[in-house]
Amino acid sequence: MKFIDEVKIEVEAGHGGRGCMSFRREKYVPRGGPDGGDGGAGGDVVAVADPDFTTLLDLRYQRLYRAGRGEHGRGKDQHGRRGEDKIILVPVGTIIRDAHSGDVLADLSEPGARAVLAHGGKGGRGNARFVSSTNRSPRKVQPGLPGEERTLEVELRLLADVGIIGLPNAGKSTLISVISAARPKIADYPFTTLVPNLGVVGYDDGKSFVVADIPGLIEGAHRGEGLGHKFLKHVSRTKVLVHLLDASAIDEADPLANWLTINRELELFDPVLARKPQIVAANKIDLPDGAEKAKLLQEQFASKGVSFCAISAAAHKGLRALINMIVRRLEENKVEEEHAAGGV
């Protein structure tokens, strides 16, 4: 399935039905009063977060979403039926903005979350509504009001507990493939991964966390170079970042250069991302000089107080230690969030 995470759509809520002008016409009732009913309200356009959806692909091919209009009022005090709502199913984690003002209309971060994107027009009142002591046979009715029309920008941000970041060919796809059931494309050339991959990592009797492999980060990613600008937004909701380094490819003269490059891109794209907790994982320690360079990296990060783990995703070395570090950090994050919520 093609991964689509940004689309622009048009939505039109239903117009309200007009009120009815009618008078009773019954045998033996020579002066029947007004009995025109009200028009029905127009339907709303509603977005609903559906966990079965993982992409905005459907919205790419259908750009206009129109709700039903309200029925007109009828005689005998019969009110028109309300227009049918138009439901748009979107993935969990979808953000919807007004294309003109930029205002966020909805952030659907929970399964089943709903948001009205365009309200239907109100139905017009029939002549029965205008009866008064001085106007026993009103001939006034109201037309229905038009429904809202909007141009919307729809953006998907993946919901994951952990984001795996790093330069191309660091081994991100291999790592997610061995710690979860995800099966991304893996090859020995840059930009193998063209879309984010999600995987579920199980641990300790049925517990699990969701991990996302974020592709395309290179120097200049915040300006749109590589694929980073397109996908950096997908780490915005993560709680912990696993910064994967290719230990065999580091420069011994400047071992932290690659790590600093990616962190600089995070800071320039969104300072909040740069402040997220990080675990540095030095990958490819199964290669001839990978293990030695990983020891050098460990010394460097120990002096900075940064969590560090040496692994080989291909050889399945050090993965349990990495998962344990991630779990501990997620649990610490949960405690910090609970304390923050309790202090409000």
Q: Is the dihedral of CA 52, 58, 59, 64 positive or negative?
A: negative
Q: Tell me: do 37 and 88 sit in the same domain.
A: yes
What is the tens place of the pLDDT at every residue in 183-211? Answer: 655 445 444 445 677 788 888 777 888 88
The pLDDT-based confidence of 297 (bands split at 50, 70, 90) is very high
Q: Tell me: do 168 and 152 sit in the same domain.
A: no
Strands (E), the chain: 6-12, 45-49, 64-66, 86-90, 94-98, 104-108, 114-118, 149-156, 162-165, 197-203, 207-213, 240-246, 278-283, 307-310
Q: Tell me: do 8 and 144 sit in the same domain.
A: yes
Give the CATH number of the domain where residue 221 resides. 3.40.50.300
Q: Write the single-letter amino acid at 234.
A: H
pLDDT above 90: residue 337: no
Chosen domain end from 125, 156, 187: 156
Chosen domain end from 156, 189, 215: 156
Chosen domain end from 156, 183, 207: 156
Q: Tell me: do 317 and 230 sit in the same domain.
A: yes
What is the tens place of the pLDDT at every residue in 238-295? Answer: 889 999 999 988 888 888 988 998 888 888 888 888 888 999 999 999 988 888 899 9
Burial class of residue 342, CB neighbours in 10 A (0-12, 13-18, 19+): exposed
Round to whole Å and give the CA distance between 236 and 212. 11
DSSP per-residue codes, 94-114: EEEEETTT--EEEEE-STT-E
Contact, 323 vs 208, CB < 8 A?
Answer: no
How many domains is the chain partitioned into structurally? 2
Q: Tell me: do 92 and 115 sit in the same domain.
A: yes
pTM of the model: 0.71
Q: Tell me: do 329 and 226 sit in the same domain.
A: yes
Lowest mean pLDDT segment, chosen from 84-93, 118-127, 198-207, 301-310: 198-207
Q: Tell me: do 283 and 223 sit in the same domain.
A: yes
Q: Tell me: do 10 and 98 sit in the same domain.
A: yes
What is the tens place of the pLDDT at every residue in 153-182? Answer: 998 887 788 988 888 888 888 898 888 876
pLDDT above 90: residue 52: no
Q: Tell me: do 149 and 210 sit in the same domain.
A: no
Domain residue limits at 141: 1-156
- At residue 206, the pLDDT reads 74
Q: Tell me: do 8 and 128 sit in the same domain.
A: yes
Round to whole Å and give the CA distance between 198 and 24. 65
Contact, 191 vs 159, CB < 8 A?
Answer: no
Q: Tell me: do 188 and 85 sit in the same domain.
A: no
Give the CATH number of the domain where residue 62 resides. 2.70.210.12
Q: Tell me: do 298 and 330 sit in the same domain.
A: yes
